[in-house]
């Protein structure tokens, strides 16, 4: 396949760019990923650029995998450049320069999300004498935010931190458990690039491609700038209208300021939306254009696209809304011939299934398969999956402190907080890590308090015995290829994970991590899982209507989309920290997931924990309604609409 086959003129122009920095503005459905893949193909196939000199950075693992697959399909295996998330890239660079990094515990070990929640936050709560885990979570989030926003670079930053005691206790805890937080990786890379002239990147990159540039925070932007300053040609792609990660300190001004930050950069754009019917795109753009700071851009539907089905549906109560949504699903399946998995139902949030449960029940009553996929739990967070991962980590490195601690919590019976605290005290008193204290206690139990000796000794021995059973002798040294590694993973998982569904989920997570990291050893494979939870990928269930949160719909498309509970305090969200601009962009992204059918629902009165009442509850939905009226697209009242459906 030629690099420019089946490209639209604006896609071809962007893909063939070379010679200076460039910004590609690409709205929803305009073929951004296609253009990025063809740009790589152009560089390699037409400009004879070595793949090893090209680095492509994406925001999620799913995006990295899709881009890699496209390039490999077009160029063939072995000619694909390095494609990864920014966190994975940062980890590789820090590992390569580990001896030059003095700020981090060595060897470099990233705490994953489960370890943050169940070990680090719990310990900090106890160490600081806090009443609730939410208080320690707020402190850790504040620390991460300060890295992401570069507030931590300030000279008096520590004095201004909300709880100065936290920083000292956290640093001690980090040293004893030997971990680095995932949110710290990019910040440490930024510092190293700025401060160390001997810091070496893994390859002599000449081209840097950055996808979803609008989602980068200030720290991410600083790293990109440092790399670009090394005579690297920078090609960025994104859309400020789709910046929805403000809670991660995403800085959409980065893509807006790009022409000023990189003088002489080429301006490129993709203008034809091949996803949304015209009326759907018009409604989405109406929302996006309320932001006066956005970059003006042209985007239009493909010529000849039908207007599409759009309706704003108002209901008196949440039970009527749930029944109405079920009626919509039946209308789409029976009246339009859609399959259930052609339908997405999007919610702003869904704590404990508050919104999804009544909707799911009504859809089930209508005889349509449905799944609520609003949970953000990793496949590795089950007890068996977590224990298996810990054993894999101990196989790679016997002195993995967090792995030992994990097994004490989820696998060993009789090891409570008191026994763990006793080991922690030994480590602190002797200047050891937690794992070193564990192994020292195995050799000499007298270093432990007498009331914990027998339990701790038995637990340590049970872990070591299990390791010997899983990975006897030096068998691991015989495996070199990733395929062989995955066979090892399968065999070991079979002996530890009884539930077949959990077993399959764990294997899939390892396979994805191995693919992104291109792992060739157990150590590399395990390291890949440490940053894998940065992007818990949304798995849509086949053959079912899928209910999910708006944020998790990013990158997805569907024949039909139902945006539910479009009421003030939910859309836009009114929780602390929610910015109106972020919420507006989130709505825009949600609306533009739809290809042919789009419905927005809201109700006047909602009961339970999400209760509200009053005629102002649906101001956003009513503004969408007015837009449709102004465009001569008369919306229908929700009840009347559903009654009509029932008559069909």
Torsional sign, CA 626, 627, 631, 632: negative
Supply the DSSP symbol for 296. P
pLDDT at 550: 92
In the chain, what are the helix, strand and coil shares in percent, each to the nearest 5? Answer: 55, 15, 30
Torsion over CA of 549, 555, 556 and 559, rounded to 10 degrees?
120
d(CA 327, CA 362): 9
- The CA-based angle 166-168-172, given to 5 degrees, is 115
Would you give the distance in Å from CA 402 to the centre of its chain? 23
Query: What is the predicted pLDDT for the residue at 536?
Result: 47
Strand order in the sheet with 266-270: 82-85, 54-58, 207-210, 233-238, 22-26, 266-270
SS3 269: strand
The overall pTM is greater than 0.85: yes
Instruction: Please list the alpha-helical segments (H only) found in 229-291.
Output: 253-256, 258-261, 278-288
Alpha-carbon 410 to chain mean position: 25
Q: Would you give the DSSP letter of residue 198?
A: T
Between CA 418 and CA 423 the distance in angstroms is: 9
User: Are β-strands 594-606 and 612-613 bridged in parallel, bridged antiparallel, or unpaired?
Assistant: antiparallel
Residue 383 is predicted with a pLDDT of: 82
Which residues on adjacent β-strands are paired with residue 311? 599
Q: What is the pLDDT of residue 4?
A: 85
* Rg of the chain, C-alpha, whole Å: 26
User: Residue 246's pLDDT is what?
Assistant: 87
Residue 518 main-chain phi, psi, to 5 deg: 50, 50
Query: Mean pLDDT, 10 residues at a time, over the chain (648 residues)?
Result: 88 96 97 96 95 92 88 88 91 86 87 92 95 95 96 92 92 96 94 84 90 96 95 97 90 96 96 94 92 92 84 90 94 93 94 89 96 69 86 91 96 89 95 96 93 93 90 56 72 84 82 70 76 58 93 91 88 64 91 95 81 65 77 57 53
In whole angstroms, give the CA distance from residue 151 to residue 386.
34
């Amino acid at each position: 396949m030629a690099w420019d086959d089946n490209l639209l003129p604006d896609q071809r122009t962007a893909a063939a760019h070379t010679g200076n920095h460039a910004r590609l503005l690409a709205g929803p459905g305009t073929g951004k990923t296609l253009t990025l893949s063809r740009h790589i193909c152009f560089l390699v196939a037409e400009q004879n650029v070595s793949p090893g000199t090209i680095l492509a950075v994406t925001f999620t693992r799913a995006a990295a995998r899709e881009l890699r697959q496209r390039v490999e399909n077009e160029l063939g295996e072995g000619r694909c450049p390095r494609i990864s998330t920014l966190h994975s890239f940062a980890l590789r660079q820090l590992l390569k320069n580990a001896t030059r990094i003095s700020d981090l515990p060595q060897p470099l070990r990233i705490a994953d999300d489960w370890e943050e929640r169940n070990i680090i936050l719990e310990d900090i709560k106890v160490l600081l004498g806090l009443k609730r885990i939410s208080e320690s979570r707020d402190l850790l989030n504040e620390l991460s935010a300060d890295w992401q926003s570069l507030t931590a670079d300030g000279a008096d930053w520590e004095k201004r931190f909300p709880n100065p005691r936290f920083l000292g206790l956290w640093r001690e805890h980090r040293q004893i458990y030997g971990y680095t937080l995932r949110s710290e990786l990019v910040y440490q890379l930024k510092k190293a690039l700025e401060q160390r002239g001997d810091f070496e990147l893994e390859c002599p990159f000449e081209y840097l491609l950055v996808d979803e540039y609008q989602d980068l925070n200030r720290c991410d932007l600083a790293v990109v700038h440092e790399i670009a300053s090394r005579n690297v040609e920078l090609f960025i792609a994104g859309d400020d209208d789709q910046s929805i990660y403000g809670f991660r300190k995403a800085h959409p001004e980065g893509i807006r300021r790009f022409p000023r930050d990189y003088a002489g950069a080429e301006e490129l754009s993709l203008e034809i939306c091949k996803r949304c019917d015209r009326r759907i795109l018009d409604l989405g753009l109406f929302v996006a254009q309320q932001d006066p700071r956005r970059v003006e851009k042209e985007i239009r539907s493909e010529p000849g696209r039908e207007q599409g089905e759009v309706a704003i549906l108002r209901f008196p109560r949440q039970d009527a809304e749930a029944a109405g949504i079920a009626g919509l699903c039946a209308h789409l399946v029976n009246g339009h011939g859609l399959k259930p998995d052609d339908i997405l139902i999007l919610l702003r949030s869904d704590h404990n299934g508050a919104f999804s449960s009544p909707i799911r029940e009504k859809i089930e009553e209508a005889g349509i398969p449905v799944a609520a996929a609003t949970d953000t739990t990793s496949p590795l967070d089950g007890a068996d999956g977590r224990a298996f991962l810990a054993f894999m980590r101990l196989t790679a490195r016997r002195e993995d402190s967090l792995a030992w601690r994990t097994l004490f919590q989820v696998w060993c019976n009789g090891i409570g907080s008191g026994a763990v605290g006793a080991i922690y005290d030994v480590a602190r008193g002797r200047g050891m890590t937690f794992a070193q204290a564990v192994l020292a206690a195995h050799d000499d139990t007298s270093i432990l308090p007498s009331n914990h000796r027998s339990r701790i000794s038995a637990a340590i021995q049970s872990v070591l015995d299990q390791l010997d059973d899983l990975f006897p002798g030096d068998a691991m040294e015989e495996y070199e290829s990733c395929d062989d590694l995955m066979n090892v993973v399968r065999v070991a998982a079979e002996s530890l994970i009884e539930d077949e569904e959990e077993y399959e989920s764990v294997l899939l997570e390892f396979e994805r991590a191995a693919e992104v990291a291109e792992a060739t050893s157990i150590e590399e494979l395990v390291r890949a899982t440490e940053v894998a939870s940065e992007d818990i990928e949304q798995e849509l269930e086949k053959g079912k209507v899928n209910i999910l949160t708006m944020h998790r719909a990013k990158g997805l498309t569907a024949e039909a989309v139902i945006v539910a509970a479009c009421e003030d305090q939910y859309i836009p969200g009114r929780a602390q920290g929610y910015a109106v601009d972020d919420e507006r962009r989130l709505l825009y992204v949600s609306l533009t997931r739809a290809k042919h059918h789009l419905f927005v629902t809201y109700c006047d009165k909602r009961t339970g924990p999400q209760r509200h009442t009053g005629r102002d509850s649906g101001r956003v939905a009513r503004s969408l309604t007015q837009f449709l009226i102004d465009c001569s697209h008369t919306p229908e009242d929700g009840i009347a609409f559903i009654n009509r459906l029932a008559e069909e």
